[in-house]
Amino acid sequence: MRVRYKFLFLFIIVAGAAAIMINLGLFEEEDAAPSDISEQIEALGNDRYEITKVRDDGNMYKVWINFKTQLGSNSAAKVYTDSVRDNTRSILMEADIERDIAVYGSQKLIQGRSIEYGTSYYYQSSDTYLFIAKENEPEPPGITEQIQALAKAYYSISRIEPSGDLYEIWIDLKTDPGSASVVKIYTDSVYEDVRSILENEDAESDIIVHGIRTGTGGKVTEYGATYYYLSSDEYEFIE
């Protein structure tokens, strides 16, 4: 019985010592990532790009970089994604962490769009470095270009002025409309098309569509305008 108590007492002493050593940081899990790894990688950003996200899934460190200005080619992006990949690998090696690495290069545009340039990879099993370029589809036209395309045989879109919470458009009639009621048909139609464009782009704004006609000598005749008020979701034509 005394021998049993001696072993129990010895076990308690050893377990307590181990707990103290763990708390002191003398024992660590194998490949445990230091808490500042993400901060070190994020600090790689500079005046050309920012590190927007860092993820470790246990097998691969994934890093997303956003370019602050548009690049001329995928090969230009490769220079930066390769650099971030190589610096990330140095950070991980210094911390005795073995992972594959992927660095995604892109640029955020207005209205939620983005350009993806490509990804730099490192595979530790084969010690392989690789860059895969992204084939981007042509960017769809922006809001202004879509409104400009609303021109018809009867009128042109002569001016577009977006100003925060208001889109103001001028349509220039190619022939004398004869009356304001005819102009209303055109400005109402353009208003409805512009509203659809803004909704498709997740944009909200008041809308004014002016109906004018530029005559000989540059003389401009104003017939009226269709007004849309976002707050009340109503529109009206005012001569």
Ordered by start, the domain boundaries in the chain are 25-133, 143-238
Confidence of residue 19 (pLDDT cuts 50, 70, 90): low
Nearest partner of 110 among 147, 145, 143, 157, judged by Cα: 143
Let me know if the fold of 25-133 is the same as that of 143-238.
Answer: yes
What pLDDT is recorded for position 177? Answer: 94
Q: Note the pLDDT tens digit of each residue in 59-112.
A: 999 999 999 987 878 888 999 999 999 999 999 999 999 999 999 999 987 666
pLDDT of 6 > 90? The answer is no
- Residue 61 makes CB contacts below 8 A (sequence gap 6+) with 41, 54, 55, 88, 92, 99, 100, 101, 102
The pTM for the full model equals 0.46
pLDDT of 38 > 70? The answer is yes
Assigned CATH class of 25-133: alpha beta
**CATH number, domain 143-238:** 3.30.300
